[in-house]
Structure 1
Amino acid sequence: MKPCFFSMLLFLLTATAIAQQGYADSLEAELKKAPGRKIEFELLEKLLKEYRKTDPAKVRETAATFLQKANEAGDSSMMVSGLLAFYDYYYFKPEMDSCKMVMEQCLQLAKRVGDHKQLAHAYAAASRTARRERRFGQVEKLLRQALSHAKKSGDKQALSQVYGSLGTFKNSVRKFDEALGFYKKSLRLQEQTGEPSGIGFGHKQIGFIYLRQGKYEAALQEFDRAMPYFIESGHLAYQARVYNDIGVTYKKMGKWAEALQAYDKAVGLAKQQGDQHLVARTFNNKGVVFKIQGKYDEAVEMYRQSEQISIAQKDSFSLALVHTNIGNIYKLKGEYGKAIELFQNNLSHAESKGDPFETQKAAYSLANVYSESGNFGLAQKYALRALKMAAENGKTNPLLMSQLALADAYSGSGQTELADSLLQKNVELTRQQKSKPYLAYSLKNLGQVKLEKKDYQSALANLFEALQLAEAKGDHKFMLEVLEGLGKALLEAEQAQPGEIRRQFASSRSMDLEQLLLNALAEAEATGTFASTVGISDLLARYYEYRGDYRSAYFYKNKYAEQRDSVYQNAHAEAVAELETTFETKRKEQENALLKTQNEVIASQNKTYLAAALLLGALLALTFFFFSKTKSLNKKLAAQNLTIEKQNKDLQSLNQTKDRFFGIIAHDLRSPMLAFQGIGKQIAYFIKKEKTGKLLEMAAAVDETSAKLNELLDNLLNWALLQTGSIPHRPQLLDLSDAVEQAKALLSGIAAAKQVEIINNAPAGLLVFSDENALRTIARNLLANAVKFSHIGGTVTVSAHAENGFATLSVSDNGIGIPPEKMESLFTLGMQSTTGTAGEKGTGLGLLLCAELAQANGGRITVESELGKGSTFRVLLPGQGASRHS
């Protein structure tokens, strides 16, 4: 709709509402002085018709009056009309149990009366309840009966209503051409009767079919035709529904502002009408628009408003939908636990109701979130369940969704051939069904699988086509996902086959890889799409490194690191802030436990002595018995004293750990920071004096100090997170040799300074199932430790092998070795760090962190060392075989 048309509608709405209210008041006045039953029923029928349009709350009151008067008059036909009015009231609330109860009475009474027109209306109304409950076999049966009675009645209004209900049923089962035929028949009959709201409803339903078929301009034309009829008839409920349909159409067209404007009008009218079901649905639709725009906070706000209304209305279907949408936002933000909780609740509720359609949706959602979080075993389980139910339900879209989820799970667990085969079938099926959204998703995923198989030509062909569909749809989030995949594919293809892929795709406007990535990054930052910003920054850094533009590569690598690290920023800050509180709490708990035990001992002793005095004075003959009891009690006291001693030792250990930790913060962390003080003045002085050599020395010193500071902070904050149990843990299959190479690259400067050679003998392709950040931290700390204690000109050797589903990483040096007395406390924080062979200082955190991260990932660490000959650290982690069983 155009803005001027919106303004005209606002004027018409206001004027019509005033006129309509006056008409209802005049009918009420006439009813009070009606001369007889016949006139009363005519006026009541007119009032019911009026209140259905403008004030649903009064429908129930008027229907009750209607039934009462019909009952007093013994007029069964009028009682059927009153029950149908009650049915409409309950249907729009919606209260399905009340609908079914009223309809049962209505059908029984209508059959006794034998009025074909009323029977047609009753059967058509009953079909609406069955359709909402997805009992489609029952719907078709009821509508056949309704059509038979409507034709026998010869009433055009009744026949038009039944044709409209048949169109809605065919729309529900995706037979759009048949639905369109029925709706056009209904509209022609309404045009013959000249009833405005009926004509408007016909145009609205035809517009909705065009919307489902993707004919958006045609849909908007039908909605424009419908609205004046609803305004003329004063039908607020259908005005609200048309605005909601207009909003959905603009959303499909990617016109977000127009969609939100239409949704706001729908909410206003629905609230005025008291249609809470439509208010909730429209809030949910607004949330979808905000999500597509990347405005996740606004989306969640809309979803929460929809959720509150759905809970109040006890609308379980709408509640499941909104919980799915909220869960998807949590998934996008990496809050997988919250998403899983919502999806599991949906699944349990759907199973308890025996609803196969909602059960399939919940299983599909769980498959997606488990894939995203790296748990591919559970992802496969739920995807297979969703696929089975989709096949049984006979619905095409759920089948496509489930196959996509299963392919993701296969791809993530390294089963690329299965994923490839499944996605190719999905692409063929979506082309046959002309389902562009699912075709786009299938092409994107197939392109990524082809990239994993190094089939660059197929990967790029699929991704380019997915990009075209994404741009046509206007879905920014999906477009960024495709651009990121396309950039990765182009970069890897160019590195593997320089120039070859560029020649094959020379006509593509996206072959300018640099511009493609820069545009994608700008779009990601503009929409606040965090995951894409991180991924594209990394791709730009790799691209510039490949091109030899190290300045740009350094800039985007820093940007990537900053973005990636911000994921953990809040968790890190909270961990450091709460750590001292945690230590103090534990210390107080130990002290309280100690005092409690001592008091129990003292109380026990006092009781014993009192009993002994009484026994000695009164029962000298039982001395032997007293002696035995005292001996038993002494044993108990000795055991309690041992407990106290152990608690004292634990408390001392805890205090030592706390003191060591805050010593690190006070000294080791503060010292590098102090080194940066005054550096600006020194730089200015050296520039002024033109001492370039000094500046270069200072630059090297700054690099070294900042690298050490970064390593310390990384270890410190990771350890803090481990202690509070809040470190992110996303295990996946990782190449062990790659992790070693990354650590080797990070330490190349330090190793070169000591002339230490690092040899990586870990075989390529040896996979471990571990959190990526944890594996990198373990590799970096073990190599750093080996270099630190190696002699100048020494060698650090890394090897690895697989055995019984596990992988062992070994790091050996020929350095100074470890004294036997230090071996037991090597992986504790209380131990003072030893100075390296070149005077390097440390904190003692590195090895402790390696041990705890290995344990957190289902592994362990061991060490062998001999003084003067060197040390070997071995880390055992789950390998590829172990991951598939976990």
Structure 2
Amino acid sequence: MRQYIICVVLCITLQHFYAQNHLIDSLQNRAEALPAGTEKVNTLLHLADYSADNRPDLAMEAAISARQTAETIGFYAASIKASLKQADLLVKQYRTREAHEIINQAIELAERSGEKILLTDALFAKGNCYNQEGKYDLSIQFTKRAITMSEQVQRKPGFLAGRYCHLGAMLRNTGAFEESLEYCHRGLAIYQQNKISAGVCYALTQISLVYAKMGDFSKSLEMEEQSLAVARESKDEYRQVVSLHNICDLLIRLGDLDKALQLTPEIERLNPVLKDLNADIELYKLRGRIFHATNDPEQALVNYQKGLAVANKTNNAAYIAGVWQDMTPSLIALGQTDKAEKGLRKAIKALEVNKDTITLESLNIQLGEVKIAQQDYETAKTIFNKVAEWYGLKSMYLESAQVYDKLAEIYLKTQQMDEALKAAQKNLELCEKTRSKTAIADAHHLLYRVFKELGDFPSALYQHEAYFLLLDSVKTIALRRRLSEERVKQNVEDLEDEKKRVERESALLLVRNRLYLTLGAMLLVILIFGSYLYTQLRRTRKKLDVQNQELTQLNQEKDKFFSIIAHDLRSPLAAFQGVGAQLKYCLEKGNMAMLDKISDMLTKSAANLSGLLDNLLSWALLNRGMMPYQPEPVNLHNTVADTFQIYENAAAAKGIHLENKVPSEISVQADLNGLQAILRNLVGNAIKFTPAGHNGLVSVSSEVESEKISITVQDTGKGMSAEKLEKIFTLEKRSDRGTAGEKGAGLGLLLCKELVELHQGVLKVQSTEGKGTSFVFSIPSA
């Protein structure tokens, strides 16, 4: 069963993969086939969107082609969209200089063409490009301008909310915390109002990060836990893993390591959801911090250098600075202070250009640490005092406390005890504002050392007791962790053996799974082939059933046809029996009146027989598909006149008036023989069923309808019932005798219907008993 499921999943995965590639290939082929125009541009834009993740080179090529084609045909909106797509792809490749040039052109074109919404998109793209470079002041400038324009053109609430929070994040990096919170809360309110759960999580996380930067870790934790609750409720795994990372960091800062440890398994399970180069950098930095904490600066430096290599590829000054900030303690431990100073100063210079003040001050702290290691205490004090002053202005309590801690250490080393006490007390004051147990404990320990150096042992004892009281729970958890690490070390050999055993079993399982997959694929092919054969069999059987039904119907019609022939040919032929003897008798006796009567009878019988044979022949040819059909322009008026001439004597004998209402200029595109057969049968029937001696009338009229001519044959005869009308065009109806006893075969109307359809027309009938009948059919006009 498991192998079957694996086979099905594999098939579905392959189907999705090939479907996606097929869509990309189809768009590519369509774009190449289309001429330059709006449809080609839109197809290229779709191709760029669909191939951006899997085939970025193709996406770039499509975006460039779309832009060039749009510029050629003057399709300005599409040109702007294509430019922004190209810029986005360049930013992802960290080619920001080229992206700036293209975005500037898009902004200029949007302003010139009056595309306000696209102008806001271009301004946001410009801000994003600066943000990627770590130039937050310029990023904020363009983002604020874009937001103002977006509000003016009333863009969608969810879009604006995201931009508010993004701007808040950039303001946070510059230390403008109040303005940052204002924008983040504005975005949160919109997300909540529109019930966008992912947006609510994002906004709460941004607010949490602002409070963390301000040093209020308890408030930061509260906001992030709210974000996690919303993410879990909406089953948003990406937002869950982001919140869990942040919560763990905050719990470590607050000294609640037990709760942080409980969350790590969930982080490990969800962490692959994050896909970002910065995530790779953070992973290397995390490993570096771990090795440094275990007194292995060499291995720590290896990981930091890997992270620095990735950061250099991004060309992001903030990412590079972050690696140098974490790497500096390991370089100091290895005595490589000159290398650390050189790297820090280069990173500081890049940040000063970008005006990234938050990261800049963090690097200045590390530079101060390097100066301490080089025993250049005066330079270190100058650096730390400047940083402490800046942190104080921004109310960044934890960062400011850390700086005062370092100043106190310098004063202790230089035996400036009064200054050391002031710095240590300031450190405690700031740590208490952060409500971080670990930070407060460290502040008490620093005061303990200062009072001990001053000889104030009661105060030193008080600080020492406070230190251990706060640190007790933290140390308990740390002890548990060390014991757990020791147990892991003792089980290393067992784990290695287990690993080898699992590898062997995995290899065997892989071979077996391949065999199952092969068998499954073969079974799938057999099932598909079997399904195909079964479908073909059912299709063939259904076709045979239809053919059997048609054959049965044809046999039935054949039987009816021969029945008609046997019945209706007998009467005209019977009229010829004994005619010779009668003629001889009349001639011998000189009975001319009887001869006239016999002559009329023979003429009528011959005409009926001729008409019957003509209809039988025509109907047979039609059913065999051999009826000649050679349409040509035919004068309808003359054709009707010729038909009336044939039936002139028969009509006169019954006192019926024949009226040709067709204008002389009317012509139709018809087969002359077929048209004559239609008129001959319809006019003959009209005369046949119109009683004598009642001023009967048979008329033929026409009406022009678009590209067709509608022809009506109308009589004042006895009409037909509704029951007869239903079967009038079938073999099931037997021909009735005329008002003067005229006979027929019943094929005339069926033949008329099929001949009219051969002319792409329709034959209709309207009749009322006792009032007459009208036959209407259409023929293409000439």
Q: TM-score when scaled to structure 1?
A: 0.44
Structure showing greater radius of gyration is: 2
Point out which structure has higher relative CO (alpha carbons under 8 A, 6+ apart): 2
